[in-house]
Amino acid sequence: MMPEKFDVEYFKNQLRTTWLGSEFIYLSKVDSTSTYLKRIPSPDLVHGSVVITDHQMKGRGQYERKWEAEPGRNLTFTIGLRPPSAERLTLLTLACGYAIALVLEEYIPGEVSIKWPNDLYIGDKKIGGLLTECTFFGSKPDRVLIGIGLNTGQNHFSDDVKEKAISLADIADRAFSREQLLCRFLEKTELFYQQWHKHNTELQKQISQKMIGYGEWVRVRINGELRDEKYKFLGVNEKGELLLLNRELDVNTFSYEQIRIITARQGVPEPNR
């Protein structure tokens, strides 16, 4: 896939959202789309703004890692939201991941899963990730920035990630364009945002079913340390927190970001019951 300039006119002509992406900023180059949105003065920041770039020079990933993306071949963008409270932001991020998973599945034969907390996987390979940041005015959120990096056409990954990463172009069974993908994603996200806003419990159920390990006996790794105890992964609650049932049938809630779900497929056996 050759590097291409994102076609803003084509994108705008296809977009069928009411508010998400109405304020749309295309930058041929920027340090980071999330950092760019952070710099916009508060009175000027429109709820539902979308910033996209073809060349992100200092892309930021989770845990201070960098996010690599070959220019003109991937989707690197951030949506800026101004929700009334900072509650349930984990569920909101998961809702965006869910929207991406559903859109990608329109183009591939297999399934896309959400790996807690913010990764998108096809099989055992990562196709994208999300980074959510929130700034505050006192106790009220000023802005929530959901940055999304999707490997759409990347065909060279650095040594650290090449065994674990995949691009949509490697597996798509029909033609796609970045403009089309972004339109579909924003349409779904707008819908899920309304559901999230209305506390619609269907949303968390649907998201749960897309998560790696859902309904399975799993182990958890906290701060890198693998716990012995096994839990049945029941999905997420209305806040996006993990629900894990232990063998004594107590439901444990985890909201801690440093927790990882380890499934039997990753080498941990099912408990004897």
Q: Which residues pair with 136 in a beta bridge?
A: 141
Q: Residue 147, interface with ligand BTN (CB under 6 A)?
A: yes
Least Cβ distance, residue 94 to ligand BTN (angstroms): 14
Pick the closer one to ligand BTN by CB: 118 or 152: 118
Residue whose CB is less far from ligand BTN, 124 or 270: 124
Minimum separation from the CB atom of position 71 to ligand BTN (A): 13
**Spatial contact of 102 and 187, defined as CB atoms under 8 Å apart:** no
Residue closer to ligand BTN by CB (options 59, 141) is 59
The secondary structure element, H or E, covering residue 240 is none
Taking CB under 6 A as the criterion, the residue among 50, 79, 95, 131 binding ligand BTN is: 131
Give dist(CA 140, CA 43) in Å, integer: 15
C-alpha 12/C-alpha 28 separation (Å) is 17
CA atoms within 13 A on the CB side of 206: 14
For the CB of residue 90, give the shortest distance to ligand BTN in the complex, in Å: 15
User: Hey, which residues between 47 and 106 contact ligand BTN (CB under 6 A)?
Assistant: 56, 59-62, 65, 67, 76-78
Q: Which stretch binds ligand BTN (CB under 6 A): 27-35, 86-94, 181-189, 212-220?
A: 27-35
Closest to ligand BTN by CB, 130 vs 244, is: 130
- Angle at 32 (CA atoms; ends 141, 19), nearest 5 degrees: 55
Per rule CB under 6 A, is residue 33 in the interface with ligand BTN? yes
C-alpha span between 69 and 165 (Å, rounded): 12
DSSP 45: P
